[in-house]
Structure 1
Amino acid sequence: GTVRVAEPGDAAARVTISASQASGISARAPSISYSGTTGRMIWQSHGADGAAEAAGVMIGLHAGRYAPDLLRWLYFLSGMGGTVMVASGLVLWTVKRREKLPDPDRPHFGFRLVERLNIGFIAGLPLAMTGYLWANRLLPTDIEGRAEWEIHAMFLAWGAALLVGFLRPVRRAWVELFALTGAAMIALPFHDLSNSRGLLQSGAMGDMRMVAMNLTICALGATFLMMARKVRRYQPRQKRSARKVATLPNAQAILEPAE
């Protein structure tokens, strides 16, 4: 469960105790609040109506906080599979569509727009999410609206990635964004070595979830670096020249006896 203290050190201080969300699928865990000065109970959650309970179950299924580790890994792998399917479909669409254009080297505006947006969304979104994690670590703890600034940092990074997609040559934009994302991901666990939640510290405390998270981030970073290397070295296939079809001699020539 969780214990939250609102307005600490004030006469209106309130302590709220909530049950763990792992105790059920619904995200609406039972809670009770006490006055921080007198200890008197001032509020207690009651059974929600059908609509509220359904909403709590949907949120719980989405967040997966109720699930054991194995089911959480299945959540993660399922999400990754769907993401890769959508991203690869968008890229393959542009590749196949380019082959059908009258002049593949000079595509029309609509094709160029889709191609550039693919860069911003497929390569830019992972960079933006990594920027969110970096903002969580680098922003001062006493800054006002810190949680909002973490979100702002994510969208600022995403906007910058979209600009890169529109301003840089197509292949260079893919390579640069993939490489930057990979480097930023791999650097995260090394930065965390300086605090109590780093890879080594978490392993020493037996916190295997944090260890798995750090190793997964490193693996994803290495994957993005390999993708950048693959795109940089990619050479499009040359169009095959039309094969010459040998014509058979006509039947009369075949049947004509040799002199």
Structure 2
Amino acid sequence: MKNGFRQSMAWLHTWTGLLVGWLLLLIFMAGTASYYREEISRWMRPELPRSSVSSEVAAERALTFLQHKAPQAESWNVTLPDPRNPAMRMFWRNPESMVKPPVEGEKRRRGGGRFGDATVDPGTGEEVAARETRGGDFFYRLHFDLHYIPVYWARYLVGFCAMFMLVAIITGVITHKKIFKDFFTFRKDKGLRSWLDFHNVSAVMALPYHAMITYTGIVTLMFMYLPWGVNVAYPKDEDAFFSEAFARLADIDTPSEGRAAALPIQQLLDAARAEWKGAQVGGFTLYHPGAANAVIDVYQRDGKRLSVDTPSLRYDAVSGALIEASPLSGGATQTRGVMYGLHLARFADWGLRALFFVSGLIGCLMVASGVVLWAVKERPKHAKSGKIGFGLRLVDALNIGAVAGLPIAFAAYFWGNRLLPVQMAERADAEVNVFFYAWAAALLAAFIWPKRLMWAWQLYLGAAMFMLIPVINALTTHAHLGVTLRTGDWVLAGFDLMMLAFGAVLAYCALRMQRWQPALSAAEKKKRQAAAAAAARAQESANVEANA
């Protein structure tokens, strides 16, 4: 620990940032991609239709499909299409009597056969035979579940990193007493000074976003990190706490009774919209379909609401009578819902979502430049001794493998989506494995040879892989730029164009890294100046002798 408050904060800022910097970069990159997880999922399932029908028509076709697909199910859940997700997603729960024990030697289905799901074209009401993939949901889960690691430990690890990130932000503000002046200062080709300026600019440019996304990220998992209050108040039924605290409707657990025809779904959706004064319906859950005591829960669509908690209404599906509405939230619940909503940004329109995305990219640059800056500062100390220590070599390898290697992994994930066989078993898991295999290869190469050229090679590889994604897309699907630009499908076209843009940026970074020469230390500058002066004096003496 250094003497003096600001020096102590600088020391704390350096080490809290460095110790979790590489994992934070993964979290930031995956979280930033999650702002467009619906669009990524749609690109990764090019078979999905681009239908445009009213929610009433889509709901009627969903019920028709479910009546044929799962007529004996205990409940049906339908997510209606919206501008970001044009297909309908539906789930159903079968009664326990229908669940068959697994055949010996056969892999048990997820959910044990109790649950079913389907993706349906709202325009035709037919199931879509789309490729199996986790799509953008993989990045969303990755940024707080980390994959391969038990969820419980992964979320604690992410929370630990988030706390370190929050400390790094606060100490960074304290350390830089001229923080706003630093925002307008960037000295090019000045070695360590340039890296420090870049780190300062990327930190200050989106500082409110960085503080908000870090703090709200911790809030999203606060009941996991601080469960004791819930355990004391609800020792035997935590679900009751979440139903009461988050203003949710309780699940229906009564058995079905008799048979009766439900009201037309359009009438029930119209009643919900009237109750919400015109707000759109996002989906519904029908309990005991076809029974005399059938009940339907109608959910409001995520839209302009800042809070992640959306209202819901429960109707008698046979008579249409309103049974109950989700209770009003208290102040604490509303605050938590707003913070959660800020973190997810589901409320954002295209412009605000783009601003969140750019701010996330700036956060990635801030973390990346921070871990690189430590290595740049340490290298002159090791140069004096003429030996690169283990710590610096380790940081160099991790920097290359994370900063340059992660883009390779992201691009490989999209390559896997297009190149793996469509009917491949466990295809979604295979795509995820491609991501981690590519990242592991980049890390291994960095550890074998953590040199400047390895930076350039990996950045060039990432650039090539991103720029080839639209080409591979054109060779393997009919949803390529030649079609999407002509038909105005800007979700798919925008994805391909962004891949080209990311590739171009990585290629520029690779070129800069290839041509970059480290700045000379003060001692080396003096040594070269003395040598140049001696050479000049020798040349002058030679000229005098020649003239004599």
Q: Shared fold (TM-score greater than 0.5)?
A: yes
- Aligned residue pairs: how many? 240
* 1:83 pairs with one of 350, 360, 364: 364
1:18 maps onto 2:79 in alignment: yes
Q: Larger relative contact order (C-alpha < 8 A, sep ≥ 6)?
A: 2
* 1:31 pairs with one of 251, 259, 283: 283
Counterpart code for 1:141: V
* Alignment match, 2:483: 201
Whether contact under 8 Å (2:474, 2:480) holds in the other structure is yes
Question: 1:56, CA displacement in angstroms?
Answer: 6.6
* Alignment match, 1:213: 495
Whole-angstrom CA distance in 1 between matches of 2:481 and 2:334:
38
Whether contact under 8 Å (1:16, 1:32) holds in the other structure is yes
Whole-angstrom CA distance in 1 between matches of 2:478 and 2:295:
36
Counterpart code for 2:284: I
Which SS does the other structure have where 2:284 is aligned? strand
Moved over 4 A (4+): 1-15, 19-23, 37-43, 48-60
Change beyond 3 A, Cα 1:63–1:12: farther
Whole-angstrom CA distance in 2 between matches of 1:177 and 1:201:
32
* Alignment match, 1:254: none
Whole-angstrom CA distance in 2 between matches of 1:150 and 1:8:
32
* 1:123 pairs with one of 404, 410, 413: 404
Whole-angstrom CA distance in 1 between matches of 2:500 and 2:342:
27
Question: 1:187, CA displacement in angstroms?
Answer: 0.3
Change beyond 3 A, Cα 1:212–1:31: closer
Question: 1:80, CA displacement in angstroms?
Answer: 1.0
Whole-angstrom CA distance in 2 between matches of 1:141 and 1:187:
20
* Alignment match, 1:228: 510
Whole-angstrom CA distance in 2 between matches of 1:111 and 1:6:
60
Counterpart code for 1:17: V
Q: Gaps spanning 5+ residues in structure 1: where?
A: 245-259
Q: Which moved more, 1:202-211 or 1:159-168?
A: 202-211
Change beyond 3 A, Cα 1:105–1:123: farther
Identity of aligned residues (%): 33
Q: Which moved more, 1:194-203 or 1:8-17?
A: 8-17
**What is the TM-score normalised by the length of structure 1?**
0.76
* Alignment match, 1:252: none
Q: Which moved more, 1:94-103 or 1:113-122?
A: 94-103
Whole-angstrom CA distance in 2 between matches of 1:120 and 1:6:
48
Change beyond 3 A, Cα 1:18–1:219: same
Whole-angstrom CA distance in 1 between matches of 2:452 and 2:427:
36
Change beyond 3 A, Cα 1:221–1:209: same
Which SS does the other structure have where 1:101 is aligned? helix
**What is the TM-score normalised by the length of structure 2?**
0.38
Whether contact under 8 Å (2:415, 2:472) holds in the other structure is no
Whether contact under 8 Å (1:182, 1:225) holds in the other structure is yes
Q: Gaps spanning 5+ residues in structure 2: where?
A: 1-54, 85-247, 249-280, 300-311, 313-325, 531-548
Whole-angstrom CA distance in 2 between matches of 1:6 and 1:59:
33
Whole-angstrom CA distance in 1 between matches of 2:478 and 2:77:
27
RMSD of the alignment, in Å? Answer: 3.6
1:241 maps onto 2:492 in alignment: no
Which SS does the other structure have where 2:526 is aligned? coil
Question: 1:7, CA displacement in angstroms?
Answer: 11
Which SS does the other structure have where 1:31 is aligned? strand
Change beyond 3 A, Cα 1:81–1:172: same
